[in-house]
């Protein structure tokens, strides 16, 4: 199948331009919010706490804080990007244009993932002002950053199709993803928990994201990194199947 690169480029540029028109909301706000975590937990509290697995507490929480911002922003960017055309009715122009659903998904998800990767890198740059840290595996750090951004941007795309009002766009990020991130080892190692809670934590998918990302920084992880990568890839596959089903059935698009 030959992709319509002009269509992908048009959607991608339109979505990215919307981001640069709202820099304070799209970029500055999440970076500032995460910086407050670095100040409170990294600099203030972290200086009074011991190390975890030989890593200072301030440095230890960096991967978790990046994931906390990354997951929420990936979902929000992608869900709003596809919901807005639904709400305004311009999605019918997209459906009637010579653009396949694959090209539309690449454009919308690609733009949302690009924003999230930019945000993640800015947060890592900002962290340098508060905490000293090293990245043991830079390639794998970028790989997991991009893979997570793409996966959760696809989840956000699905949420944007499912939602029928603006309030529903925030339900999953605020009531599902954020709690799972806090309980997924963002601020601690699950090995510090009692055995029962360690086992229960393995049912939290965010544990695998944070564990793999932390491994790319310090070479330590709560879960085997290969298993973590497999879990992220499997979830990516589920999202792909979900998007394919949506466009095949016209769920919340053609109705």
Residue-level pLDDT, tens digit, the chain, 255 residues:
678 888 889 899 988 887 777 767 777 788 888 888 877 776 666 667 777 878 888 888 889 989 988 998 899 889 988 998 888 888 887 878 888 888 989 999 999 999 999 999 999 998 888 888 889 999 999 999 999 999 999 999 999 999 888 888 888 888 888 888 888 888 888 988 898 988 999 899 999 999 999 999 999 999 999 999 999 999 999 999 999 998 888 887 765
> Whole-angstrom Cα distance, residue 152 to residue 186?
17
The Cα diameter of the chain in Å comes to 60
Question: Tokens for 102?
Answer: 């694959």
Phi, psi of 210 (to 5 degrees): -65, -40
Question: Tokens for 196?
Answer: 């029962």
Q: Measured at the alpha carbon of residue 85, what is the angle toward residues 83 and 91, in degrees to the nearest 5?
A: 120
Phi, psi of 4 (to 5 degrees): -85, 90
Residue 255 pLDDT: 58
Q: For the whole model, what pTM was predicted?
A: 0.89
Q: Measured at the alpha carbon of residue 145, what is the angle toward residues 142 and 149, in degrees to the nearest 5?
A: 140
> Whole-angstrom Cα distance, residue 125 to residue 192?
29
**Four-CA torsion 95, 99, 100, 101, nearest 10 degrees:** -60
Q: Measured between alpha carbons, how far is residue 4 from residues 81, 112, 254 in Å?
A: 20, 19, 22
Cβ burial 228-246 (10 Å sphere, 16+ → b, else e): bbebbeebbeebeebbeeb
Cβ burial 124-155 (10 Å sphere, 16+ → b, else e): beebeebbebeeeeeebbeebbebbbbbbbbb
Q: 163 and 83 in contact (C-beta within 8 Å)?
A: yes
Question: Tokens for 157?
Answer: 């795309």
Closest CA to 213 of 126, 105, 133: 133
DSSP, collapsed to helix, strand or coil, labels residue 137 as: coil
Residue 44 pLDDT: 64
DSSP letter (8 states) at residue 166:
G
């Amino acid at each position: 199948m030959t992709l319509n690169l002009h269509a992908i480029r048009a959607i991608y540029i339109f979505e990215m331009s919307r981001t640069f028109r709202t820099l304070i909301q799209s970029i500055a706000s999440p970076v500032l919010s995460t910086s407050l975590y670095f100040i409170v937990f990294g600099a203030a509290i972290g200086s009074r706490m011991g190390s975890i697995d030989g890593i200072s507490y301030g440095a230890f929480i960096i991967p978790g804080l990046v994931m906390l911002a990354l997951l929420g922003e990936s979902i929000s960017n992608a869900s709003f990007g596809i919901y807005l055309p639904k709400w305004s009715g311009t999605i019918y122009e997209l459906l009637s244009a010579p653009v396949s659903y694959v090209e539309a998904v690449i454009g919308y998800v690609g733009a949302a993932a690009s924003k999230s990767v930019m945000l993640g890198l800015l947060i890592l740059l900002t962290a340098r002002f508060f905490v000293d840290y090293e990245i043991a595996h830079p390639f794998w750090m970028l790989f997991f950053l991009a893979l997570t951004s793409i996966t959760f941007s696809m989840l956000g795309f699905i949420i944007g199709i499912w939602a029928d009002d603006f309030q529903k766009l925030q339900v999953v990020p605020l009531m599902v993803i954020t709690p799972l991130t806090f309980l997924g080892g963002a601020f601690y190692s699950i090995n510090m928990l009692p055995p029962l809670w360690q086992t229960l934590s393995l049912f939290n998918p965010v544990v695998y994201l944070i564990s793999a990302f932390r491994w790319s920084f310090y070479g330590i992880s709560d879960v085997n990194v290969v298993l973590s990568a497999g879990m992220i890839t499997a979830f990516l596959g589920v999202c792909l199947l979900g998007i394919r089903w949506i466009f095949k059935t016209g769920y919340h698009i053609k109705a």
